Amino acid sequence: MRISRRINRTFRRAVFPLCTLMLAGYFGYFAVWGERGYQAQIVTQTRLEAKQARLATMVAERKRMEHRIDLLEKGDPDLVEELARTELMDGAPDQVAVPREPHDK
C-alpha cells in the first residue's frame, strides 16, 4: 500500500513537468524547423537578397536605356552615329569599321 501511494505521488509529480517539457519541445521544434520557423526565415532572406540584387541590376539597366532614349530624342549626333555604325557596320567611303564591344556609361 505504501509503495503504491509512493508510486502514485511520484507519478503525479512527474506528469505536469513532463507534459510541459513535451509541449515546449513541440513548439520549440516548429519555431526552428517549422514552415515559418528560423530555418525557413533564413531561406526566405537569402531569396529576398537575390531578388533585390536582380532588381537593382534591372533598375540600373532601365536608367541606362532611358538615358540613351533621351539622347536619341534630343538628336545627339554622336549617339546616332554610334548606333548607325554598330547596326550597319558601315561608315564613310574609304573608312574601315572595326567591330568592338560597346562601352556603357
Cell 513548439, residue located:
27
User: For residue 86, is pLDDT > 80?
Assistant: no
Q: How confident is the model at residue 105 (pLDDT cuts 50, 70, 90)?
A: low
Predicted structure pTM score: 0.57
Average pLDDT over residues 35-47: 94
Domain layout of the chain by residue ranges: 1-33, 36-90
The CA distance from 65 to 69, in Å, is 6
For residue 9, the one-letter residue type is R
For residue 34, give the DSSP letter.
S
Cell of 64: 541606362
The pLDDT tens digits of the residues spanning 11-32 come to: 788 888 899 999 999 999 999 9
Cell of 12: 503525479
User: For residue 61, is pLDDT > 90?
Assistant: yes
